[in-house]
Amino acid sequence: TPAEPKKALFDSQKTLDSMNDIVDILTANDLVTFPVFGSLLGLVRDAKLFDHDKDADIGLFIEDYEEIHRIVSMLCKSDRFAAPTMVKDPKENAMWNVGVYDNEKNASVDLFFFHKKDTHYETGVNTKCGTVKWVFKPFELEKVTLAGKEYWVPANYEEHLTEIYGEWRETVVVWESLLNCPNLSKDS
């Protein structure tokens, strides 16, 4: 008899619910958020988060550590959310990305902070090997409905997704954002 399939550790609906709860909290505090990376791709292409992904990704135009600290502290003031990297990692790591864990939904949401440069935006993650950055053409945000919810998204989201994934309309079986993204910064 065939082996019974393993139950996925990732629950894409709970993660989407967690992402939406965080978006709602931040929006209620006058912050503009937008889905990015795989979350944006999944919502645009499949009207859901990918079943195989391990977290959701939210972008914010925030460049000041004190503002990042305020936002994460606000989310973590209850026992529902935790952001352990804000405590254990150097504060400069938080300038690019902070992972937020939702204890209630058993889900993770990454907050990516976009920095405006002269000709582009940058966001990234800090790894043991150094900072990995992605470069984006400047973009404005517009409100659209994806998967039954209104989100702010890059107004040119098709071009934005092409910057990240190349031909994003086709499903790719193996994708590693630290290697495969066309917009990976040369100094990563």
In this predicted model, what pLDDT tens digit does every residue of 41-93 receive, in sequence order?
999 999 999 888 889 999 999 989 999 999 999 999 989 999 998 888 888 88
On whether the CB atoms of residues 63 and 112 are closer than 8 A, the answer is: no
How far is it, in rounded angstroms, from Cα 188 to Cα 169?
Answer: 26
Give pLDDT, residue 2: 57
CA dist list (Å): 136 to 20, 132, 155, 159, 186:
24, 14, 13, 10, 13
Q: Which residues contact 142 (CB under 8 A, 6 or more apart)?
A: 152, 153, 154, 155
On whether the CB atoms of residues 188 and 124 are closer than 8 A, the answer is: yes
The mean per-residue pLDDT over the stretch 123-140 comes to 92
On whether the CB atoms of residues 106 and 53 are closer than 8 A, the answer is: no
pTM of the complete model beyond 0.85: yes
The strands making up 97-102's β-sheet, listed across from edge to edge, are 33-35, 56-60, 107-113, 97-102, 81-82
What does the pLDDT look like over 162-177, one tens digit per residue?
Answer: 999 999 998 887 888 8
How far is it, in rounded angstroms, from Cα 21 to Cα 25?
Answer: 6
